[in-house]
Amino acid sequence: MNNIVTSKEMILCESRKIVMEKGISAINMRTVANACVVAVGSIYNYFPSKTELISATVEDVWKDIFHMSGDSFEFLNFTDCLLWLFESIKKGCKKYPGFFTLHSMIFASEDKVKGRQMMEHYFGHIKQSLLNVLEHDTNVRSDAFNDILTADEFVNLIFTTFTSMLLQKQDHCKTLLEMVSRCIY
């Protein structure tokens, strides 16, 4: 066993490697402990349950997906942001096969609520970022939104379409970008 003190960061790094090689469903205490060359109890010191380990791993993978490009996160317009987001997640899906489609389904049945909450948290963060970009996009027509079609509802609709495209493994988002452009510019 590893005599070096194990860190949370090292555990998460090894967990990401497992996700890359075997998928998110391969994450469990024993697999991660073996990858870290530590006793299973060492993993429990940092993550009291499999759910906590999976949650932290999912969060770490999302952070890697959105920071892997090293690009700036400042966008002048909404469509550039959508394109960047689509390309980032597509790259992430190549690096972490099956992650996008499976991460919401990997929790044990008693932890489905927590898994759903975690997915909603990450997606909520993405939607809030999209809304912020949309609100600061100076090219948006002044009459693009109203009481029926609010900016928030628009982002929800676009995000639903966006995630559907990713789940269908579409190669590009040109049609979505064109639709958005016609609606708001």
Q: Which domain holds residue 115?
A: 51-184
Q: What is the pLDDT of residues 1-58, one digit of tens each?
A: 544 557 999 999 999 999 999 988 899 999 999 999 999 999 999 999 998 898 889 8
55 inside domain: yes
161 inside domain: yes
DSSP string, 91-133: HHHHHSTTHHHHTTS-S-GGGHHHHHHHHHHHHHHHHHHHHHH
Using alpha carbons, select from 162, 160, 9 the residue that is nearest to residue 88.
162
> Average per-residue pLDDT in the chain?
87
12 inside domain: no
25 inside domain: no
Which residues does 33 contact at the CB level (< 8 Å), separation at least 6? 39, 40, 42, 43
23 inside domain: no
pTM exceeding 0.85: no
Q: What is the pLDDT of residues 159-182, one digit of tens each?
A: 999 989 988 889 999 999 999 999
Give the SS3 label for residue 30: helix
Report the number of distinct structural domains present in the chain: 1
17 inside domain: no
